[in-house]
Amino acid sequence: QKYGYTHLSAGDLLRDERKRPGSQYGELIENYIKEGEIVPVEITISLLKRAMDQTMAANSQKNKFLIDGFPRNEDNLQGWKKTMDGKADVSFVLFFDCDNEICIGRCLERGKSSGRSDDNRESLEKRIHTYLQSTRPIIDLYERMGKVRKVDASKSVDEVFEKVVQIFDKEG
């Protein structure tokens, strides 16, 4: 908020759509999430674009977005380019780098109260496999373009936040 960004979580948008009564995508989204797989880009990009359009329609000054958890694979990246090319520029990628076992431990702890169907070891291990196969190459691509800002997310919440603030102070 301090920097004028609207936070949009691809995962939250998908989970909200999954729960929305009458959603044509709800069951499909649930199956992908439970299997630790990536939801088809057409669904995710339409939810992101709708949220961005609604935000800007309510306040035209709100045109900076922090998109959390997207793109997750090459298909996502191509869908973004096809739909958003010329409409939105990617300033930088904020990459929270963390050891797999730390991530699993944190998600299992979160799972005690989150109610998320994917906060279990089996789904988390599938998600890590998907990340290594599909998402990491996208991060590497942005890194080659000089657009990745890396944060060691194994540190404490306060240390991670301090590093994020430093990045946003520099990037705007």
Render pLDDT for 84-126 as a digit per residue (tens, 0 to 9). Answer: 998 899 999 999 999 999 999 999 999 999 988 889 999 999 9
In the DSSP assignment, the letter for residue 66 is: E
pLDDT for res 135:
94
Comparing CA positions, the residue from 89, 3, 2, 76 lying closest to residue 46 is 76
pLDDT for res 77:
95
Render pLDDT for 140-171 as a digit per residue (tens, 0 to 9). Answer: 999 999 999 999 999 999 999 999 999 999 99
1 and 83 inside one domain = yes
pLDDT for res 118:
86
Q: What dihedral angle (degrees, nearest 10) is formed by the CA atoms of 26, 27, 33, 38?
A: -80
End-of-domain residue from the set 65, 90, 115: 90
pLDDT for res 1:
86
pLDDT for res 101:
94
Give the residue numbers spanning the domain of 138: 94-171
End-of-domain residue from the set 74, 90, 106: 90
End-of-domain residue from the set 90, 123, 157: 90
pLDDT for res 161:
96
* pLDDT band at residue 172 under the 50/70/90 scheme: confident
Render pLDDT for 14-30 as a digit per residue (tens, 0 to 9). Answer: 999 999 999 989 999 98
> Does the structure show a pLDDT above 90 at 132?
yes
The CATH number linked to 7 is 3.40.50.300
61 and 137 inside one domain = no
pLDDT for res 18:
92
156 and 112 inside one domain = yes
pTM comes to 0.83
59 and 104 inside one domain = no
Those residues with Cβ within 8 angstroms of residue 2's Cβ, 6 or more apart along the chain or in another chain: 168
Q: Give how many domains the chain has, as a whole number.
A: 2
